Structure 1
Amino acid sequence: MSARQGRDSPLRTRLLASGAAAATVTAGLAITAGVEGDVAKSAGDALYTVLVQTLVVAVAPRLKPAMAAGIAVGISWTVELLQLTGVPSELSARSVLARLVLGSTFNPPDLFWYAVGASFGWLIHTAVRSRRLTAR
C-alpha cells in the first residue's frame, strides 16, 4: 500500500470519524458540566448534529462533506419533527438512551441549531479532507 492510499483509505477515514465522534461527546459533556441555560442547550443541539455527521462519515467514509452534512441535518430534523407525534416522549419516559437520542419535546429553535451544527461539521470535514488531499 502506498502512502497516498493509507492517507485516503476508508479505514483511516472511519478511524478519524470515530475519534471525532468521541471528541464531540467529550465536548458535549464538558459544555453540560461547565455551562448552563440556553447556551448549553443550543451548543448541545449543534453538537448533536456534529455527532450524527461523524457517525454518518464512519459508516460511509467516501461521502463528500456537503452530503454528509446534509444527511446529518436531515436526520436531526427528522428526529425533532418526530417529537410532534409524542412517540419520543413516551419512549424517553422509559429509557435514558431514548431520551438522549430522541429527546422528548419539539422545540422549533432546535431546527436552527441543528443547521448550525451541520455547517460546523461541514466546515471541519472539508478542512480535514482538503488537508488530507493536499498532503498526497
Structure 2
Amino acid sequence: MISTSASLDRPAADPTRIRAAAALAALLTVGAGLGLRAVAAGNVPKYGGDALYTILLLTLVVLAAPRVTPLRAAAVALAASWAVEFLQLGPLPAELSRRSAVARLVLGSTFNAPDLFWYVVGAAAGCLAHTALRRRSRA
C-alpha cells in the first residue's frame, strides 16, 4: 500500500468524536424538522421535511459507520429515502400510519413523486455539510 506524506501528517479521525457529532446533528435535524412544521405552512414544511428526512438518515449512517465517506453516506441515505417512498406505492405504510404517529413520521402514507427530488436535495446538502465538517476537522 502506498501512502503519501500528507496522509501521514494527519491523524485518523476519532470515531467517538465523529459519532458524537453525528448524534448531535441527528438531534438538530429532528429539531429543525419539528420547528419547520410548527412555524411554516403549505409545501415548505412538507418538502423541507423530505430533505431533512434524508439528512437525518445520513447522520444515522455516519453514527453507525463513522468513517464512511460523505458520498457513500449520502448515497445510502438517498437509497433508503427512495425505498421508503416507493414502499408507499403499496398499502403497508398507509395502514401502519393509521395506527401509529411514529410510523406516519418514519414511513409516510402515500407516494408523492416530487418527494424523490427533495430527497436528492437533502442528500446533496448532507453530503456537502459532511464534506465540509470532515475537512474542517482535519485542518
The alignment's TM-score, normalised by the length of structure 2, stands at: 0.91
Q: Does 1:107 align with 2:118?
A: no
Shift of 1:40: 1.2
List structure 1 segments (4+ residues) > 6 angstroms apart after TM superposition: none
Shift of 1:95: 1.0
Higher helix residue share = 1
Tell which structure's C-alpha radius of gyration is larger. Answer: 2
Aligned residues: 130
Deviations 1:64-97 (A, max 9, x none): 0000000000000000000001110011111111
Match of 2:8 in 1: none
List alignment gaps of at least 5 residues for structure 1: none
Deviations 1:14-40 (A, max 9, x none): 000000000001111111111100111
| Percent identity of paired positions between Structure 1 and Structure 2 | 56
Q: Does 1:68 align with 2:73?
A: yes
What is the RMSD of the two structures over their aligned residues, measured on CA atoms? 1.2
List alignment gaps of at least 5 residues for structure 2: 1-10
Which of 88, 93, 97 is matched with 1:88 structurally? 93
CA distance in 2, matches of 1:40, 1:31: 5
CA distance in 1, matches of 2:89, 2:35: 29
